Amino acid sequence: MSCIDALEDECSGGCCCVNENLSDYDKLEGAYGAVQDNWGDRDVFHGGYINLGYWKDFSPNKPISIGDRIKSARDLYIYILDLLQPTTRDRVLELGCGRGMGIADAVLRYGIREFIGLDALPAQVARARRNVSTNMALDGAKIELLAAPANATGQPDHSVDKVFSVEVMQHFNQFSLLAIELKRILKRGGRAVLTAHLSTTSNSVQSMMRENLLFGEGLIDVFCPIGDVVSAFEACGFYTTSHSIGAKVFNGFGQWLEQEHLDNVIGLNLCKSYKKGYIDYFVVTVNSRE
């Protein structure tokens, strides 16, 4: 049975179904696609990174500096890359490279010689190119930056050793398409490590809607259930595991919002939804069985 046949047999609706669109491109473009967009410099983020952060040194009694906030965002990349275990021989692909801040973290920390950064939005790829081109430490590394969706990477069959993404999965509504693409491009023994906030059950989104936790200008998160995400990859023959790092993400991020008096409705609702158990911050590890 092919990967597509298996998915069509096992998936009967929602996030797991086979469909032609991995995410809502128009919403993504509205949030990140403006030529003058500066999301990574907003008070809720800082330093060019666009993620909630991995607050491994978080203390509820310690004030958070801007440097701490930037470090948390970088530490999220490092946490995922340590799980990915890239080597100098690997061809590594990042899904949703954004402004390219994680590229230097990956290439310099792990000595990656061939790196592909992929983002669905041309405006983000242009920003990544500017950031990479001005980083002298990256001279000599083979870095390719492409505008393409995660389910149509344009990479040759079985040409990529490792794939990762940081805070991108929450935008996907058709994980079957991503699973099919990873099955096609990963080499034998390949691995992918993906992380984002997702719903804990199939009823979470309804509960969040009922409690007005999905309101917020520019909301582009889909909140697929973690069970559906894992099932989509397993249906394609991957050995797939998931684990939560929510406590290391939302506690620090929530205190940052509170300390800085940031009226970020989406961020505040994410923290409330986590405390109620509707969502969590998951790491999904996908390994080829072949």
pLDDT digits (tens, 9 = 90+) for 171-224: 888 899 999 999 999 999 999 999 999 999 999 999 999 999 987 655 678 899
Percent of the chain residues topping a pLDDT of 70: 84
Give the number of C-alpha atoms closer than 13 A to the C-alpha of residue 228, restricted to the C-beta side. 28
CA dist 101 and 27 (Å) reads 22
Q: How confident is the model at residue 258 (pLDDT cuts 50, 70, 90)?
A: very high
| 42-51, 99-108, 137-146, 159-168: least confident range | 42-51
CA dist 195 and 169 (Å) reads 7
Helix (H) or strand (E) holding 197: strand 186-199
| 26-35, 266-275, 276-285: least confident range | 26-35
Q: What is the pLDDT of residue 273?
A: 96
Single pTM value for the model: 0.88
Q: What is the pLDDT of residue 162?
A: 98
CA dist 159 and 256 (Å) reads 41
Name which of 287, 101, 108 is nearest 189 in CA terms. 287
CATH class for the region spanning 3-287: alpha beta
The two structure tokens encoding residue 266:
């989406």
Q: How confident is the model at residue 17 (pLDDT cuts 50, 70, 90)?
A: very low
Contact 172, 178 (CB under 8 A): yes
Sequence-ordered strand ranges (E) for 59-141:
91-95, 114-119
The two structure tokens encoding residue 279:
């969502």
Crossing angle for the helix pair 101-110 and 122-133, to the nearest 10 degrees: 50
Q: 222 burial class (0-12, 13-18, 19+ CB within 10 angstroms)?
A: buried
**Secondary structure (3-state) at 139:** coil
Eight-class DSSP state of 225: B
Contact 16, 7 (CB under 8 A): yes
